[in-house]
Structure 1
Amino acid sequence: MPQSPPPELDAVDRHILRELATQARITNAELATRVGVAASTCLLRVRRLESAGVIGGYRAELSLDAVGLPLQALVAVRISQHARAEIGRFAERLANLPGVLGVFFVSGDNDFSVHVAAATPERLRDFVVENLSASRDVASTQTSLIFEHQRGRAPLV
Structure 2
Amino acid sequence: MLGSSDPQNARPASLDAIDLSMLAELERNGRLTNAALAARVGIAESTCTQRLRSLRDRGVIRGFRADIDPAALGLTLQALITVRLGTHGREQIRGFEQRVRSLPSVLTAFHVAGADDYLLHVAVESAAALRELVLEHLTTHPHVRHVETQLVFEVLEGSGMVPREPVHPPHV
Please give the range of the TM-score, normalised by the shorter of the 2 chains: over 0.9
CA contact (8 A) 2:96 2:141 kept: no
The residue that corresponds to 1:101 in the other structure is 107
Residues 132-155 of structure 1: per-residue CA shift (max 9 Å, x gap): 111111111000000111021344
- The partner residue of 2:90 within 68, 85, 91 is 85
Question: Is it true that 1:74 corresponds to 2:80 in the alignment?
Answer: yes
- The partner residue of 1:41 within 47, 64, 69 is 47
TM-score (norm 2): 0.84
CA contact (8 A) 1:95 1:102 kept: no
TM-score (norm 1): 0.92
In 2, Cα distance between equivalents of 1:140 and 1:67? 30
In 1, Cα distance between equivalents of 2:43 and 2:105? 42
The residue that corresponds to 1:145 in the other structure is 151
Q: Percent identity of the aligned residues? A: 42
Q: Secondary structure at the match of 1:113?
A: strand
Residues 31-73 of structure 1: per-residue CA shift (max 9 Å, x gap): 0000000000001000000000000000100011111001000
Structure 1 alignment gaps of length 5 or more: none
Q: Secondary structure at the match of 2:73?
A: coil
Q: Which has the higher contact order (CA 8 A, sep 6+)?
A: 1
Structure 2 alignment gaps of length 5 or more: 2-7, 164-172
The residue that corresponds to 2:60 in the other structure is 54
Task: Name the count of aligned residue pairs.
Answer: 156
In 1, Cα distance between equivalents of 2:62 and 2:17? 20
Per-residue deviation at 1:8? 1.3
- The amino acid that maps onto 1:70 is T
In 1, Cα distance between equivalents of 2:94 and 2:15? 32
